[in-house]
Amino acid sequence: MRQNIIRNDNFWEMACKNDDSWTWKSIMHVRDEVMSTTYNAIGPGIAHDITPYLAANGKIASSLIYEVLRRRSLPVAWGKFLWSGLQCKRWSFIVWLALRERLYTRHRLYLRGVCDTSLCALCGLEEETEAHLWMRCTYVADVAQHLMVWMHISHWDVSLQGWMDWFDSDPRQTSCIFQTKLLMLCSLVYNTWKAQNRVVFGEAFAPPLDCARSIISLCKDRMRVKCRPLSHKDNRWLVKLGV
């Protein structure tokens, strides 16, 4: 960005051009908001002096401004187990975005004018919001159903947040059973979101059964490498899953 757009200009002073991209215009819009608010106050009733946000060369330090502007959410219960365990970090990251409602769903992109439809890319039945994807989407539900059968879980009737609450209430968070169920859920969210991305970017649609088989295969591979059974019950559980 610095090489291609900013070049020798001063980011804090350069003007926005008509043919600039939507992304760049958004960045410039945020910059203008920062410039207009930082000097006096950032956020209602919170006074800030700009001096702490100046780098040694006297210019505004973007990283310090970011620290002031970014919203710090309250700690959540699932934070303690989402980032550890058998799952890949990128799977956890997508789950985190989904729980925080930060995924670029079609509904969100449509509202920003960068997508011509807000319908779900996977089922086409409702607006593609996080609430739809992880509670009502027939595609995700279909994939989840296959995973439930594999995991010997009787039914899927809670939201993603509900699953996190359920995990949080489980006292056996070091057990294989807990870890493998969390792995399955993270893989479900990551891989169905990946299937959505494939459709959005014009790649082949993966039928739910194919997606489920791929998830089961991925999970088994990780279980074989990562699982540390602590008891006979854990061992029996892994055999039951075909690991």
Which residues would be at the binding site for Zn ion (CB under 5 A)? 120, 122-123, 137
Q: How far is the CB of 189 from Zn ion (least distance, A)?
A: 14
Nearer to Zn ion, 140 or 183 (CB): 140
Is-contact 220 243, C-beta < 8 A?
yes
- Measure Cα distances from 223 to 86, 98, 132, 192, 204 in Å: 7, 24, 30, 20, 28
Rounded least distance, CB 125 to Zn ion, Å: 6
Coarse DSSP helix, strand, coil percentages of the chain, rounded to the nearest 5 percent: 55, 0, 40
Query: Considering the complex, what minimum distance in angstroms separates the CB of residue 126 from Zn ion?
Result: 6
- Smallest separation, CB 140 to Zn ion (Å): 7
- Kindly tell me which of 85 and 208 has the beta carbon lying closer to Zn ion: 208
- Choose between 122 and 216: whose C-beta lies nearer to Zn ion: 122
Task: Tell me if 79 sits within 8 A of 85, measured CB to CB.
Answer: no
**Beta carbon nearer to Zn ion, 38 or 118:** 118
Residue 166 beta carbon to Zn ion: minimum distance, rounded to whole angstroms? 23
How many residues does this entry show for the chain? 243
Q: How far is the CB of 129 from Zn ion (least distance, A)?
A: 10
Return the number of the residue (82 or 147) whose C-beta is nearest Zn ion: 147
DSSP 127: B
Residue 41's φ and ψ, nearest 5 degrees, are: -155, 145
C-alpha–C-alpha distance, residues 12 and 38, integer Å: 13
Contact criterion met (CB below 8 Å) for 215 and 189: no
SS3 track for 9-66: CCCCCCCCCCCCCHHHHHHHHHHHHHHHHHCCECCCCCECCCHHHECCCCCECHHHHH
The nearer residue to Zn ion, 43 or 124, going by C-beta atoms, is 124
